[in-house]
Structure 1
Amino acid sequence: MKYEDYSTVDFIKDEYFIRWVKDPDEQSDKFWKMWMAKHPEKREECLHARNMISDMGYQYDPELTEGDYVEMFEGVLKKSRQASLKQQRYNSSILSRTLKIAAVLAIILLSVFGVLRFLPIEQSQVVQLPVITKKSPMGQKTTTWLDDGTKVHLNAGSDISYPERFSDTVRVVYLKGEAYFEVTKDAERPFIVKTGNVQTTVLGTAFNVRAYPDESKINVAVVEGKVRVENSSSIAKRFKYTITRNQMTSYDLSSQRLTKEDFDPDEILAWTKGIIHFKGANINEIIRTLERWYGVTFVVNRQLNRDKDFSIIYKNKSLTEILEGLSFAFEFEFEINDKTVILN
């Protein structure tokens, strides 16, 4: 259902609308104000729904008793009656509609509460759409399309999870690893990529996110358009950055600091073109990259110089050719046994 067809009750039940009322940010505030300006015939219902959500502290709490629910809605009705006494010219039809909606909501929530009391815990969970997970195994890169037309390039050793069908209000995906997104524009449905405590929000753009679990940083690089990068942790210091074309943010997981800088697209997006690009990389970074790229596991039997920086570009090179070059730079011998690389 589109927002143009929403009633007050529909707005009250909408996840993105509730989030705007309870925890507004710059984007959601701008969206709803522009939407109401574009649809003035719905402005009254929007504001009415917002006031009701604010009045009753709208949130689901499984510990509430029936008495708590009754008390909560009596408060809503009491406010409506007080408003009518203060405003003698208040339109009686609007008041009547307020009371009816409050009553309907009270009945719905009391009914749900009654059912939840007698259902087993596992049956009382909210029904959700099936979640799809696409994996790009070690040694492979894959491309997938989401139901909104967004194209996602997954780097080796990465996976992405998303609902079978996006909602009418927001598009959220969860990434582990590295991916390049070509997002289909949809001004009414923000596209959000979540990686741990960091989330990236866009409306339509092309950008790269790198967030491997075994790395200490989360990088977001914008190729086209504009994105907002922010954290959702209640423990770390909150941040919110907006970055545009050829800008990148880097979030350090240990210090919980975020920096913004320009970047070289040829370096950051080299993997999407089948190119391995090392720039100032140490041997640990090189080994992790080669493990993902070629689907192998390294066994290191000797001490390597981990302080040495290494910069080079490999295109269409075999693992053996790369190791031959690295063996001179880092002074090791190697052997490849199936999927295992041994450094001596």
Structure 2
Amino acid sequence: MKYEQYNTIDFIKDEYFIRWVKDPDEQSEKFWKMWIAKHPEKREEVMHARNMIADLGYKHDPKLSEHDYLEMFEGILKKSRQKSVKKPPLNAPVLSRALKVAAVVILALGSVFTLMKLKPEGKPPTITTVFVSKKSPVGQKIITWLDDGTKVHLNAGSDIRYAEKFSDSLRLIHLRGEAYFEVTRDTSRPFVVKTGKVKTTVLGTAFNVKAYPDENKIDVAVAEGKVKVENESSLTTTFQHTITQNQMASFDISNQLATKQEFDPNEVFAWTKGIIHFNGADINEIITTLERWYGVTFVVNRPLNLDKDFTITYENKPLTEILKGLSFAFDFRFEINDKIVTLN
């Protein structure tokens, strides 16, 4: 039977699914995140099964009987049902089948499930939020998936931070640098990206946020759908813009002013396709971009013309070839030693 036809109990029975929950590796993480992204209608069942398995621990104990296994698993099922208020309770026949399935799977793996210690009745359990960080170092770009199926392209020198499990009402991401988000639609849980003083809120869309800490501007550009861009209410001047496809909101950090304008998608989203695009850039902007893109550090030993505007596109070009062209335009000589680029 294909995974598309699985229900919660089927996922609990599946050995590959269990190994992903209890002992994930790079391959299983990539597979299940991509699978959920392609089948968002199965997300609730997958997460329900995952949470049930996660509430159990593997510990070999041959003294426990099948009856013990069933009693322990029944407790977890009850706990899980209390958490999943949107799903109707399991009837007796279904519960019985689930318990038998669980026992067979556990015994086949040579392990048992042991219950987690619960707080005394009447006292709410302590909930600790576990945060996940994803970083794309300079010289690299990565693609990652969130547990809701959202796909994130991280540009060089960028990172995101978010709760391992989103809440029932919000999907919050903290970003430093630049990222392109392909958001899985979920009207009950808005997707919010925070970048310092600016907050971007969406339900389901594709958009780009550029907010490097060493730059004085934050840009939010929409590829499809609609987003709301606003700054923190604590600032002296507040703004709120709703932008749609091929519109961009730009926030100047120094004067706290925001503008809204049209943009060229081929320029703004070029980096997601391995393309560097400069449009009227000066040499400082070019150097900063090349440092992030290729993971190098520039040492400039001579004054360069800061007034010269440079407009060009490079597609998957080696750094040496780019520097040859720039050296003619800006009249410098260059030397590359390991990760140091010296301009003379």
Deviation string, structure 1 residues 16-47 (Cα, Å, up to 9, x no partner) = xxxxxxxxxxxxxxxxxxxxxxxxxxxxxxxx
Task: Verify the 8 A CA contact 1:182 1:207 in the aligned structure 2.
Answer: yes
Counterparts in 2 of 1:55-94, with a 5 A limit?
A: none
Counterpart position of 1:324: 324
Which ranges in structure 1 are unaligned for 5 or more consecutive residues? 1-110, 113-125
Task: Verify the 8 A CA contact 1:228 1:243 in the aligned structure 2.
Answer: yes
Pair 1:193-2:193 in alignment: yes
Counterpart position of 1:88: none
SS at 2:139 equivalent: coil
| Sequence identity percentage | 70
Pair 1:305-2:305 in alignment: yes
Worse overlay, 172-181 or 307-316 = 307-316
Deviation for aligned residue 1:306:
1.1
Deviation string, structure 1 residues 235-271 (Cα, Å, up to 9, x no partner) = 3311110000000011001111000000100000000
Which ranges in structure 2 are unaligned for 5 or more consecutive residues? 1-121
Matches of 1:236 and 1:304, distance apart in 2 = 38
Deviation string, structure 1 residues 265-294 (Cα, Å, up to 9, x no partner) = 000000000000000001110000000000
Task: Verify the 8 A CA contact 1:228 1:241 in the aligned structure 2.
Answer: yes
Amino acid at match of 1:261: Q
Counterpart position of 1:259: 259
Matches of 1:246 and 1:238, distance apart in 2 = 23
Counterpart position of 1:138: 138
TM-score scaled by structure 2?
0.63
SS at 1:213 equivalent: coil
Counterpart position of 1:32: none
SS at 2:184 equivalent: coil
Counterpart position of 1:275: 275
Deviation for aligned residue 1:308:
1.2
SS at 1:236 equivalent: coil
Matches of 1:155 and 1:235, distance apart in 2 = 28
Amino acid at match of 1:140: Q
Counterpart position of 1:228: 228
Matches of 1:234 and 1:333, distance apart in 2 = 48
Matches of 2:295 and 2:178, distance apart in 1 = 15
Task: Verify the 8 A CA contact 1:197 1:233 in the aligned structure 2.
Answer: no
SS at 2:335 equivalent: strand
Amino acid at match of 2:164: E
Worse overlay, 145-154 or 126-135 = 126-135
TM-score scaled by structure 1?
0.63
Task: Verify the 8 A CA contact 1:198 1:229 in the aligned structure 2.
Answer: yes
Amino acid at match of 2:148: D
Task: Verify the 8 A CA contact 1:222 1:243 in the aligned structure 2.
Answer: yes
Task: Note the aligned Cα RMSD (angstroms).
Answer: 1.3
Amino acid at match of 1:303: P
Counterpart position of 2:334: 334
Structure with higher helix content: 1
Deviation for aligned residue 1:316:
1.7
Matches of 2:213 and 2:332, distance apart in 1 = 28
Task: Verify the 8 A CA contact 1:201 1:227 in the aligned structure 2.
Answer: yes
SS at 1:237 equivalent: coil
The number of residues matched between the two structures is 221
Counterparts in 2 of 1:112-127, with a 5 A limit?
A: 127=127
Matches of 1:301 and 1:127, distance apart in 2 = 55
Counterpart position of 2:52: none
Deviation for aligned residue 1:128:
3.3
Counterpart position of 1:244: 244
Counterparts in 2 of 1:158-173, with a 5 A limit?
A: 158-173=158-173
Counterparts in 2 of 1:205-220, with a 5 A limit?
A: 205-220=205-220
Deviation string, structure 1 residues 215-251 (Cα, Å, up to 9, x no partner) = 1100000000000000014133111100000000110
Matches of 1:248 and 1:267, distance apart in 2 = 12
Deviation string, structure 1 residues 187-224 (Cα, Å, up to 9, x no partner) = 00000000001000000000000000111100000000
Deviation string, structure 1 residues 119-151 (Cα, Å, up to 9, x no partner) = xxxxxxx85311100000000000010010000
Task: Verify the 8 A CA contact 1:247 1:260 in the aligned structure 2.
Answer: yes
Counterpart position of 1:284: 284
Worse overlay, 232-241 or 164-173 = 232-241
Amino acid at match of 2:255: S
Matches of 2:317 and 2:246, distance apart in 1 = 28
Amino acid at match of 1:141: K
Counterpart position of 2:148: 148
Deviation string, structure 1 residues 65-101 (Cα, Å, up to 9, x no partner) = xxxxxxxxxxxxxxxxxxxxxxxxxxxxxxxxxxxxx
